[in-house]
Amino acid sequence: MQSKSISQQQKRGSTVIWLAYTAFLFLEPLFEPSLQIWLKTLAVFALFLVVFYIYVNTCNARLRFSMIAATVALGIITFPWNPGASTFFIYAAGFFPFAVRRARWSIAFFVFESAILYSEGRLAHHTSMANAYMGIFLLVVIGGSNIFFAEQKRSDSKLRMAHEEIEALAALAERERIARDLHDVLGHTLSIIVLKAELAGRLIHQDPERATNEIADVETTARTALSEVREAIGGYRARGLAAEIEAARRTLDLAGVTLILDSDPATNPGAPDLSHLEIGVANVPLTAGEETVLALALREAITNIVRHAQAKTCRLRFISEQGHRRLIVEDDGEHPLTREGNGLRGMRERVEAIGGHVSLNRDSGTRLLIELPLRAEATS
């Protein structure tokens, strides 16, 4: 707030400096004192102050052109009896480049003003011609300089608008990222909490000890969800694809769905390293970004199966062939939802952002295919 006030004061100060050129207007009354000339000069000066104030404080293009015309008119009326009025032509030349966008229009205006000054200087007494030449010189110099400054001001304005637009788009992208990540994180975790709570409710009379353990797991999962929400707001950090597969196994077990991992290094050398899951496979060089995208996609797919599919089995496959790395998630359930929700939309946006592709087939069960292009170093 303070910096804005300082900037306004600086702007007002630089604007007042422009009034220094009005000193030319008072040379004639000083060297040839006359009450009539003094009164007329002060009246013209007062009128110009009004015109100057309106021009400086308005953003209306039409009103600005009107003030420029009024300034030229003051010069035409005053110059014959006060040669110092050539300053009004200088002011008009200084104003004009800021009111138009093309330099050739400003140059044409300078020529027009110079013609008026020269004509009036020829028609007035001999001392006016020197003032006319001086006025023409100054209006060309000041007007020409202001063409450059006006272009620079417009460029700065465009750059500032571009920066503001970039900031707005960045903020929008960040809001969309947070919305997608919160959906993926909370959707999955809340599904686990619901499943565990339902299981605990069924076991509370049959097996109180196991029900107590399930409730304890609900608390732990809820705390994990809180931590993941904080991570999503600050920027999601994936825990790894292998860890996500292990979490998928536990979630599907709770829902009564059997997970089948189809990943054999002999037939599928492009599969990720899942050796700690007791599946011997080869390693593929996933980048951190690719692993995050695949982990979040798998999380969303498993969440949808648990929520909507009523499936008995879920098959998870990794294939690396024909220049692509493929993640395939299939289930034998029925998905009543046909409209693409926020989760699938977020998954598609993430995958497409790194050059991949998502396809979904619901003809028999559901088959989700995610394709990522193999990088050059991965295929060499």
Instruction: For 61-72, write each residue's pLDDT tens digit.
Output: 889 999 999 999
Instruction: Give a yes or no: residue 359 inside a domain.
Output: yes
Helix (H, G, I), strand (E, B) or coil at 177: helix
Q: What is the pLDDT of residue 4?
A: 42
Quick one: average pLDDT of 171-199? 71
302 within 8 A of 315, measured Cβ to Cβ = no
Distance CA 163, CA 71 (A): 36
Mean pLDDT, all residues of the chain: 77
Q: Tell which wins on pLDDT, 279 or 334.
A: 334
Q: Which residue matches tokens 């300078």?
A: 110
Tokens of 39: 């009164």
Of 160, 182, 207, which marks where a domain is finished? 160
Q: Are residues 151 and 19 in the same domain?
A: yes
Q: Are strands 357-361 and 258-262 parallel, antiparallel or unpaired?
A: unpaired
Instruction: List, in sequence order, every residue forming a beta bridge with 358; answer none if it has no partner.
Output: 370
Instruction: Give a yes or no: residue 57 inside a domain.
Output: yes
Q: Are residues 14 and 152 in the same domain?
A: yes
Distance CA 265, CA 276 (A): 14
Between the ranges 188-192, 261-265, 290-294, 338-342, where is the mean pLDDT highest?
290-294
Q: What is the pLDDT of residue 49?
A: 92
Checking 10-16 for CB contacts under 8 A at 24+ apart, the result is 15/56
Q: How many CB atoms lie within 10 A of CB 328?
A: 16
Q: Report DSSP state, residue 266.
A: T
Q: Are strands 258-262 and 313-321 parallel, antiparallel or unpaired?
A: parallel
Q: Tell which wins on pLDDT, 180 or 356.
A: 356
Q: What is the pLDDT of residue 294?
A: 87
Q: Are residues 6 and 128 in the same domain?
A: yes
CATH number of the CATH domain containing 246 = 3.30.565.10
Q: What is the pLDDT of residue 8?
A: 47
Distance CA 84, CA 48 (A): 14
Q: What is the pLDDT of residue 111?
A: 92
Question: How many residues can be counted in the chain?
Answer: 380
Least-confidence region, from 58-62, 131-135, 169-173: 169-173
Q: How far is CA 310 from the centre of its chain?
A: 42
Of 135, 160, 185, which marks where a domain is finished? 160
Quick one: average pLDDT of 82-103? 88
Least-confidence region, from 7-21, 173-187, 201-215, 281-295: 7-21
Distance CA 292, CA 294 (A): 6
Of 104, 132, 160, which marks where a domain is finished? 160
Quick one: average pLDDT of 97-125? 86
Quick one: average pLDDT of 372-378? 67
Distance CA 243, CA 54 (A): 69
Q: Are residues 48 and 151 in the same domain?
A: yes
Number of domains in the chain: 2
Distance CA 249, CA 215 (A): 19
pLDDT band at 10 (very low <50, low <70, confident <90, very high): very low
Q: Are residues 124 and 266 in the same domain?
A: no
Least-confidence region, from 5-14, 122-131, 137-146, 242-251: 5-14
One-letter identity of residue 327? L
Q: Tell which wins on pLDDT, 82 or 226.
A: 82
Instruction: Give a yes or no: residue 165 inside a domain.
Output: no
pLDDT band at 376 (very low <50, low <70, confident <90, very high): low
Range of the domain at 379: 241-380
Closest CA to 257 of 193, 333, 203: 333
Q: Are residues 156 and 246 in the same domain?
A: no
Helix (H, G, I), strand (E, B) or coil at 68: helix
Q: What is the pLDDT of residue 42?
A: 93
Q: Are residues 149 and 259 in the same domain?
A: no
Tokens of 300: 């969303």
Distance CA 227, CA 230 (A): 5
**pLDDT of 252 strictly over 90:** no
The 10s digit of each residue's pLDDT in 261-271 is: 875 443 344 44
Q: Are residues 265 and 355 in the same domain?
A: yes
Q: Are residues 149 and 294 in the same domain?
A: no
**pLDDT of 44 strictly over 90:** yes
Quick one: average pLDDT of 326-344? 78
**pLDDT of 275 strictly over 80:** no
Distance CA 288, CA 263 (A): 21
Instruction: Give a yes or no: residue 117 inside a domain.
Output: yes
**pLDDT of 7 strictly over 60:** no
Instruction: Give a yes or no: residue 319 inside a domain.
Output: yes
pTM, full prediction: 0.45
Instruction: Give a yes or no: residue 322 inside a domain.
Output: yes
Instruction: Give a yes or no: residue 217 inside a domain.
Output: no
Instruction: Give a yes or no: residue 76 inside a domain.
Output: yes
302 within 8 A of 187, measured Cβ to Cβ = no
CA distances 7 to 2, 12, 14, 283, Å, are: 9, 9, 11, 60
Given CA atoms 311, 315, 321, 324 in this order, what sign does their dihedral have?
positive
